[in-house]
Structure 1
Amino acid sequence: MSKQVILIVEDEHKIADILVEYLQSHGYETVYFDHGSEVESWLKQHPVDLVLLDVMLPDADGMQLCQAIRKFSQVPIMMLTARVEEIDRILGLELGADDYMCKPFSPREVVARVKALLRRAQPAVEQQSYWQLDEERYQVHYAGVDADLSAVEFEILRALSETPGRILSRAQLIDNIYHDHRIVSDRTIDSHIKKLRQKLAAAFGEAEWIHSVYGVGYKFVEPVPETESETEKETIS
């Protein structure tokens, strides 16, 4: 699975470095510009999944650049700015921005909002080969059966299933789930995953969806219906 690409347009190098570090640690690929003059032409040649766009650039107006991008692309755009006046936020959204973050901000919150924007750009129900996540009902559907999950359990399953096979540490799961910066222990995550596993097993059988990787974290393995598993065995043999 190819990584989603985030374009960062930010003239403050310290802020940009932090954003790059956090986004890359969460599995995204990043491209960085510290100016705005070449962004429009670059985007026309290099599509990305989301743009983080500073409003006040040394050689360009971020809002005008946002408006220009909207003429040829519907890529999600999050504006970054030191302006706090309501009129600036409204103007940015009216020009085509999808979200707005005022400085100073938490990089964890930026990552959380990036994920929300990327999800919003996709269908609300994520269709997998044989299973679905239903964001509106906090349910997982598999083989004709529904399982109700808590909000935290749902977010854990979504975070892990976004990159099947990739190991996420407990700290990464905390960043994905808790956006209010509360202090959460590793044991809390382990407890939620234990309950999630129990619900999945009770609804869908004993096949393991979530695997523990000792000393590292957890990974998701996509479920395969028994009928297909049997077919594959017959084909292989």
Structure 2
Amino acid sequence: MKTLKILLIEDDLQMQKFIAEYLKDYGFDCNVFENPKDAIENFKKEDYELIILDLMLPDMDGFDLFKKLKSIKDTPIIISSARGDIGNKIHGFELGADDYLAKPYEPRELVLRIENILRKTFKKTIKIGDFLIDKENRTVFLDDFPIDFTKIEFDIFIFLCENLNKISSREQIINATSLDINTKNRTIDMHISNIRYKIGDDSKNPKFIKSVWGIGYKFVG
């Protein structure tokens, strides 16, 4: 299963490497470009969940690149720039930026903002690796084949996906679904086992839903 893909357009090679490696620790697959034209050609061929865009780039202004990317595909964009004055921020949001981070910033803040945007996107339809999930219509497809989840299995699966790469306790799973508050741990484990079976996840060496001993589970993207 592929991780969530992010396109990073940043001409500071040191910053580029730092962000890419940091995001990798949080389960994101980051493709990096310093040249706007190369980024555009790649973006035409690849699908990304989100773009991180610097404004100060060679050969093309970042705002012009922003408009070009949006004309190709409506992918969420976080502007990451040293141009942190209010005028640039207003212009960025007027163009349709999903967020604007003025450098310097803590990389953990970037991760939190990415996760926040993806949660909003998830409310519609989201692709996580080979899974296509339509929350509104309560459908999940794996490699274009529908998965026949029960109501509880779907609710648990969605909750784990919405908390991608985070540990979810059994108590959190109960509180987030229609399960009775007195549901026993082994009942949760049974539902997880059924979900794993339906998505082809090996219970002894799972790729998707990892067990966290003594706590609960984590969906790895």
TM-score of the pair, normalised by structure 2 = 0.65
* Deviation for aligned residue 1:130: 3.8
Cα displacement (A) at 1:14: 1.9
Q: Does 1:196 align with 2:172?
A: yes
Contact kept, 8 Å, 1:6 with 1:28, in 2: the verdict is yes
Does the 8 Å CA contact 2:8/2:16 hold for their aligned counterparts?
A: yes
Counterpart residue number, 1:162:
161
C-alpha separation between the residues in 1 aligned to 2:9 and 2:45? 16
In 2, Cα distance between equivalents of 1:101 and 1:109: 9
**Matched-pair contact (CA < 8 Å) for 2:170–2:188:** no
Deviation at 1:10, TM superposition (A): 0.6
Alpha-carbon offset, residue 213 of structure 1: 2.8
Aligned to 2:217: 219
Unaligned segments of structure 2, at least 5 residues: 125-133, 141-148, 193-210
Structure 1 position 208 matched with structure 2 position 188: yes
Q: CA 1:98/1:198 → structure 2, altered by over 3 Å: closer, same or farther? A: closer
Considering Cα pairs closer than 8 Å and 6+ residues apart, tell me whether 1 or 2 has the greater RCO: 2
* CA apart distance, 1:51: 0.5
Query: How many positions carry a matched residue from both structures?
Result: 174
Alpha-carbon distance in structure 1 between the residues aligned to 2:17 and 2:89: 24
Report the counterpart of residue 18 of structure 1 in structure 2: 18
Residue 45 (str. 1) matches residue 45 (str. 2)? yes
Q: How does 1:119-198 map to 2 (within 5 A)?
A: 119-123=119-123, 126=135, 127=138, 129-131=149-151, 158=159, 161-162=160-161, 193=169, 196=172
In the alignment, what sits opposite 1:64? Answer: 64
Find out whether 1:36 has 2:36 as its counterpart.
Answer: yes
Q: Is the 8 A contact 1:10 1:57 kept in 2?
A: yes
1:137 aligned partner: none
% identical aligned pairs:
25
Q: Deviations over 1:144-191 (max 9, x none)?
A: xxxxxxxxxxxxx95xx1289x9x6xxx66xxxxxxxxxxxxxxxxxx
Contact 1:67–1:96 (CA under 8 A) maintained in structure 2 = no
Residues 113-157 of structure 1, C-alpha deviations (whole Å, 9 max, x = no match): 11111121221694473458xxxxxxx967xxxxxxxxxxxxxx9
For residue 25 of structure 1, report the CA deviation from its aligned partner.
Answer: 1.0
- Could you list the per-position Cα deviations for residues 91-117 of structure 1 after superposition, in whole angstroms to 9, with x for gaps in the alignment? 112223211100001111101111111
Per-residue deviation, residues 58-117 of structure 1 (Å, max 9, x unmatched): 222111100111112100011011112111001112223211100001111101111111
Other-structure match for 1:77: 77
Distance 2:34 2:17 in 1: 11
Query: Structure 2: which amino acid aligns with 1:196?
Result: Q
Distance in 2 between residues matched to 1:218 and 1:141, nearest whole Å: 16
Structure 1 residues 15 and 218, CA gap change in structure 2 (3 angstroms): farther
Structure 1, unaligned stretches of length 5 or more? 133-139, 143-156, 174-191, 222-237
Q: Distance in 2 between matches of 1:162 and 1:194?
A: 15
Supply the AA of the counterpart residue of 1:208.
I
Q: Distance in 2 between matches of 1:197 and 1:7?
A: 32
Deviation at 1:208, TM superposition (A): 2.8
